[in-house]
A and B are shown apart, each in its own frame.
Chain A
């Protein structure tokens, strides 16, 4: 899945933390039902959206990813009852706080995608990718030595 960055400089790199009970299954369904969505997303399966420490989001941005998507079960449908509600609080403060730091809040995205919503998953990824393309590559953590915002994808 590692693209040669040189070939498509403007293509955003997105990392998705997907809850294994719903959104990951939703992504799977999008694939098996041949819904088209951009291949810009690198998926990391997590046991619950509540597992996503804002640290993961920062680390992804630090590594040069252009955006982060956290996706979990719809409110009320968490496999562990409350994990997604907690994720919601965390993401809300993270998004607001990073905006204050000077990071475009659109780089931090969240969605509720159930296991049956393959279509919604494809839509979300398409939409987020388009938005990330608009705001341009993540140069936040680059400095002289790393030049063009090197990706630590290897």
Chain B
């Protein structure tokens, strides 16, 4: 797949079909990858596809000017489609290099499985439905479902639906829906007061670095409401009340655009379980309006559309 990607990417640049290629290259740290955004053919040989290509590269599309060839997993391709639906990206300006995605390995889960930090591990290898983590020369086998990101476990469409070039054979979902929802299920068992306390507690840790927002392809506003000063909607300081307000409103604002890619939670430096918010919103939108983000580039976006008869029971 990697070789195919390099060939295709090089061709796209050489034939001047795109101005940029966005993909992944190995990160400096073990078991990491990092986005590669380049115009230069010589960089193409650094492109990789492996079990650690976590970033949602669609995030960079709204920033780059020009035609872009972009490596996209299932969830990323839906983010791209969502951007097309919102007229933030023109379909003809992107060449989607689709990666059928078997799921991405969550390093923090791996660390917990073996009780060691990432840099103390010798190897992490995926072998079918197993993951083999080698530490101190010893092989530790686990089911892959224990090592994938929660959102990968619940992923509905691991193979991009929208692509120009599909780099491999379509894959089927891992479909561990329950496992992907354990945190949400736990929250739903709580009383409303307990849930509010839970979130209050989580958001008192927030340092307002805005990584969740900046890493999110659906958060493309030129100016975010938290930066408004007249009126000042939220204090620009890390008080839990304002942290919580920011995140709740952010979730409402990206409803119907969020594809459950899990980037916000992965980026959060203080490990707030943000996906327990985004995924719930994803489900609410799906239940109420049978809408799933980024499925159909020709469908109108959730919030610009309506049906005559819907959600009427919530209005007096």
Contacts and interface: CB of A to CB of B under 8 A. Distances in A.
The answer on direct contact between A and B (beta carbons under 8 Å) is yes
Interface of A: 53-55, 58-59, 62, 75-76, 82, 85-86, 88-104, 109-112, 124, 127, 140-141, 143
State the majority secondary structure of interface residues on A.
helix
B289 interface: yes
B281 interface: yes
Residue among B252, B308, B312 with most chain A CB within 10 A: B252
B176 to A, nearest CB: 22
B186 interface: no
A102 B196 contact: yes
Interface stretch (B91-99, B123-131, B187-195): B187-195
A55 to B, nearest CB: 5
Interface residues of B, number: 41
Given A59-B233, A82-B306, A111-B316, A92 B311 contact: yes
Contacts of A110: 314-316
B315 A93 contact: no
Contacts of B241: 62, 141, 143
B187 to A, nearest CB: 8
B306 A112 contact: no
A58 B248 contact: yes
B308 to A, nearest CB: 7
Interface centre among A96, A110, A127 (most CB of B within 10 A): A96
Given A96-B288, A102-B199, A89 B311 contact: yes
Interface string B82-124: 0000000000000000000000000000000000000000000
Given A54-B249, A54-B252, 12 more contacts: A53-B225, A59-B233, A91-B315, A93-B255, A93-B285, A93-B288, A96-B284, A96-B288, A102-B199, A104-B192, A110-B316, A111-B316
Nearest to A72: B315
- Candidate in B190, B192, B197, B310 with the most chain A CB atoms within 10 angstroms: B192
Nearest to A49: B315
B252 A93 contact: yes
Interface of B: 187-188, 190, 192-199, 225, 233-234, 240-242, 245, 248-249, 251-253, 255, 280-281, 284-285, 288-289, 302-304, 306, 308, 310-312, 314-316
21 contacts: A55-B233, A59-B234, A59-B245, A85-B308, A88-B311, A88-B312, A89-B288, A89-B289, A89-B303, A91-B311, A91-B314, A92-B310, A92-B311, A93-B252, A95-B314, A97-B251, A97-B281, A98-B248, A100-B284, A111-B315, A112-B315
B199 A101 contact: yes
Contacts of B311: 88-89, 91-92
A93 B281 contact: yes
A88 B315 contact: yes
A101 B281 contact: no
The 4 closest A-B pairs by CB, nearest first: A102-B196, A102-B195, A85-B306, A111-B316
B306 A89 contact: yes
A106 to B, nearest CB: 11
Contacts of A59: 233-234, 245
Given A101-B196, A141-B241, A58 B303 contact: no
B206 to A, nearest CB: 15
Nearest to B291: A89
A59 B194 CA distance: 22
Contacts of A109: 316
A111 B253 CA distance: 22
